[in-house]
Chain A
Amino acid sequence: MKSISLPLPSETAPPQAWLASLLASFLRGARLLFGSPLNAALTLVFGTLLILVVPPMLRWLVIDAVLLDPDPNACRLASGACWSFIHAKSGQLLFGIYPFDERWRPALVCLMIVALLAWSVRPASWTPRLVPLWIAALALIVWLMGGGLGLSEVPTSSWGGLPVTLILTVVAIGIAFPLGILLALARRSTMPAVRIGAVVTIESVRGLPLLSILFVASIMLPLFLPEALLPDKFVRALVALTIFAAAYLAEVIRGGLQAIPKGQYEAAAALGLPFWRTQYLVILPQAIRVVIPALANTIIVMIKNTSLVLVVGLFDLISSGKAALADPAWPSPAAETFLFIGAIFFALSFSFARFADFLERRGPTAH
C-alpha cells in the first residue's frame, strides 16, 4: 500500500487527519476502479449500465411509488410501484383462501417450519433424536393446518400461500430422506437386482423435468388407483415432489457413502456388526455429516421447486398472488406482486445458502 505521510493525530490538527484518511481511501478506490486500462474499461461499461438502470428503477420502486395509501385510486394516479396493494392484500397473498379468523394457524406453521429446517441442518443436532422430533413436528403441522381435536377443520383445498410452499418442502424432504438413504444403499449393493432397480429409479427420475413428474402424478394416479383410494391434488403433488427429492437426495448421500474409507466397514465387520447395524451405527452418521452442505443445497432446490405446483392447480404463493390480482377494485399491479413473491423465495433460499456456506467453511465436524 502507498504510504501517505500523515500528521500525528493531535488535538491541534484533527481536520487534516480526517481529510488525509478520506483522501487515502479515495485514492485506493480510484486505483481499484481505474488502475489499469482493463479496470478503467470495466468501470466505464458497468458504470454506464448502472446509471442507465438504477435511477429509473429506484424511481419506480421508491420515489414515485405508493407506499401505504389504502385507496386503490392512488395507485392509478401514481407512475411508480403500487406497494399499498401488497400491504392491503398481504393476508391473502401469504395465506390464500384459508379462513380469515384462523390465520394464526398457518402463520404459526410457517414459523415452526423455518425453525425446524434451521435447527435440523445444524451439525450439532444430527443425532437419532432428530427423527422423533421431525415426526412430532410434522404431526403438529398437519393438525394445526387441517384441524380436528378442538380446532375447526380446514380441508386441503382451502390451504394456500406460503404454508403450502413450506409444507410441501419439509414433508417432501422429510419422507424423501429415509427413502433416499435406502436408494443410495441399494445403489451400492452387491446384489445386482437391487442395484439395477435403484439405478433405473434414480436415473429416470433425475432425467425428467419435475413438471413432467407433476403432470404424470396428476394424470396417472387417478388411473392407477381405484376410485376409493384416490388422493386429493395436494397429496398427488406431494407424492411427485417426494419421489423427485428422494432421487436427488439419494445421489447426495451416495457421495457421502463413497467418502467413507473401507477400513470403517472392516472395523464394523471385525466387531461382528450385521449389515443394518453397521450402516446405522458406523457408516451413515459419518457419511451424512460429510454431505451436510450438499443437503442444504438440495433443500434450497426443493424450496425453489415447490413453486412449480401452481401448474397442477395447487394454491401456492404464485396462485394466491394471481388470485389477489383478480380483484377489480385495484389496478392489478402484477409486477409488484411477483416481485414480492420472488423476494419471499429469495429471502428463504438466500439465507439457507449463506448457512450452507457457513457449514462448508467449517468443514466436517469431528465427533
Chain B
Amino acid sequence: MLSDARARSIFIQCALVASVIGCASLLVSTTFANLQARGIPIGFDFLTMPSRIVISEALLSYKSRDPYYWAIVVGLVNTIFISALVIAFSSVLGLIVGVTRLSSNPLAAGTCRVWVEIARNSPPIVLLIFLYSLWWKVLPPVGEALNPVPGVFASMRGFVVPALRFELDSTGLGLILLALLLLASAWLAGPARRLRSGLGWSAAGVLLLGLWLADIEASIDWPVFTGSNFRGGLELTPELSTILFGLTLYTTGFIAEIVRGGVLSVGSGQWDAGRSLGLSRAKILRLIVVPQMLRVIVPPMNSQYINVVKNSTLAIAVGYPDFLAVMNTIISKSSHSIEGVFIILGVYLALNLSLSSAANWYNRRIAIVER
C-alpha cells in the first residue's frame, strides 16, 4: 500500500493528525490531573472578581478594588500606548537617520552609522537596563529640575511636558468622525479622481461645520513648578520615559537601515529618466522614486512594527506594568495560569495579526500590478 503515492500521503496525514490529537489529549489529561492535585479551579469566572493587584502606573484609572478584567484592559492599553508612540517616533527618526547615513557629510553619516550599529548589535533589554541605571546619575533631584525648553522639566522623578487637553461635545465628536470617514473613503476611492476630490472637499466642509457648530475647546496645560512639585502638565515617570526612549533608540536603528536600503534600491537612472520626461524634482520624487521605494520598504517595516509590539514586553525589565507584566502578576496572584496563558497568547496573536493584515492590505495597494 505504501508504494502508492496517494495512499501514502493519506496515511501520513492521518498518522500526523492522530499523533497530534493523542499528544494533546495526553497533555490535557495530565494538566487536569495536576490541577486537581493542587486544588486549582478552572474557568474564566475569576475575571469579574476584585483583583487586589497593584499596577504602579496606568493611562486609564485603576484601583486595586477593580476586577481582574479591568486590570487586563489597563495593561493592554499601556502596551498599545508604548507601541504606538515608539512606532511613531522611530519611523520619523529612522527616516531622518537612514537618509542622513547616505549623506556625503562624513560627520553626519558617521554619527548616524554609530547609532545604527549600536542599536542593531545590542540586546534591547541591556539597553533598557543601562538607560534606567543612568537615570539617577544624569538627572538632578526634583528641587533642581532641569528646564531646557520652557514647559519641559526633567528630574529624577521623570519628565513633565505640556499636555494637550480637549473639551469636546457629542456634536463635535460626531462631525469629526464623519469627516474622518469621508477622508478614508476618499483614500480608498483610488484612481477615481473626481469622486476623490469630491469626497475630500466634503470632508473639509464637514470639519469646518463641526468647528463652527460644536463647542471645541483645545487648550495646552502648561506644567508649573511649585518648588517641590509640579502642577498640571503630563508626567512621564522614569520607567515610562526609559522604555519610550530606549525602544525608540533601538527601533530607529533598524528602520534607518530599511529606509537606506529602500533609497538605494531606486537607481539613479530613474531620476535621469524622470528629468528627460521634463518632470520637476518634486514630481519625480512623488511619482517615480517614492512609489518604488515604498514597495521595498513596506514588508520589512511591517515586521519592525510587529517587533515593537513584541519588544514592548521588555517593559518588565524596568518595572513598567505592560500587558505581559500585568498578566504575570495576575497569574501568580490568582493561580489561574491556564486561562491567563490563553489570554496572553490570544491578545498578542490578535495584535500582531491585525497589524500585519493592515500592512498586507497596504502592501497590495502599492504593489506592481502585473498582468
Contact = CB atoms under 8 A, between A and B. Distances in A.
Interface of A: 29, 32-33, 35, 38-39, 42-43, 45-47, 49-50, 190-194, 197, 204, 207-212, 215-216, 219-220, 222-227, 300, 303-305, 307-308, 310-311, 318, 334-335, 337-339, 341-342, 345-346, 349-350, 353
Given A209-B348, A212-B348, A350 B121 contact: yes
B54 interface: no
A47 B105 CA distance: 11
Taking residues whose C-beta sits less than 8 angstroms from the other chain, chain B's interface range is 35 or more
A318 B103 CA distance: 37
Contacts of A305: 123
Given A43-B108, A211-B314, A204 B345 contact: yes
Nearest to B317: A311
Contacts of A220: 337-338, 341
A47 B107 contact: yes
Interface in B89-111: 100, 103-108, 111
B331 interface: yes
Interface stretch (B27-35, B156-164, B167-175, B286-294): B27-35
Contacts of B126: 307, 318, 338, 341-342, 345
Nearest to A225: B30
Contacts of A197: 16, 20
A151 B178 CA distance: 75
Given A39-B105, A226-B34, A349-B121, 10 more contacts: A42-B105, A50-B107, A194-B16, A209-B313, A219-B331, A220-B338, A224-B31, A303-B123, A318-B126, A335-B130
B185 interface: no
Contacts of B344: 212, 215-216
B9 interface: yes
Contact of A211 (B13, B105, B313): B313
Interface string B183-209: 000000000000000000000000000
Given A208-B349, A212-B324, A335-B137, A350 B117 contact: yes
A291 to B, nearest CB: 16
B123 A223 contact: no
Contacts of A350: 117, 121
B107 A311 contact: no
Contacts of A346: 118, 121-122
B180 interface: no
Contacts of B17: 193
13 contacts: A29-B106, A32-B105, A33-B105, A35-B104, A38-B103, A46-B107, A207-B348, A207-B352, A209-B311, A304-B124, A334-B133, A335-B130, A342-B126
Interface string B1-40: 0000000010011001100100000010011001100000
B129 to A, nearest CB: 5
Contact of B337 (A35, A191, A209, A223): A223
Interface in B70-106: 100, 103-106
A35 B107 CA distance: 13
B120 interface: yes
A39 to B, nearest CB: 5
A339 B132 CA distance: 12
Contacts of B214: none
A335 B133 contact: yes
Nearest to B14: A193
B103 A39 contact: yes
A85 to B, nearest CB: 13
- For B31, B344, B353, the residue with the greatest tally of chain A CB atoms inside 10 Å of its CB is B344
B125 interface: yes
B363 to A, nearest CB: 17
Given A211-B316, A223-B338, A338-B130, A191 B9 contact: yes
A308 B129 CA distance: 12
B53 interface: no
A192 B14 CA distance: 11
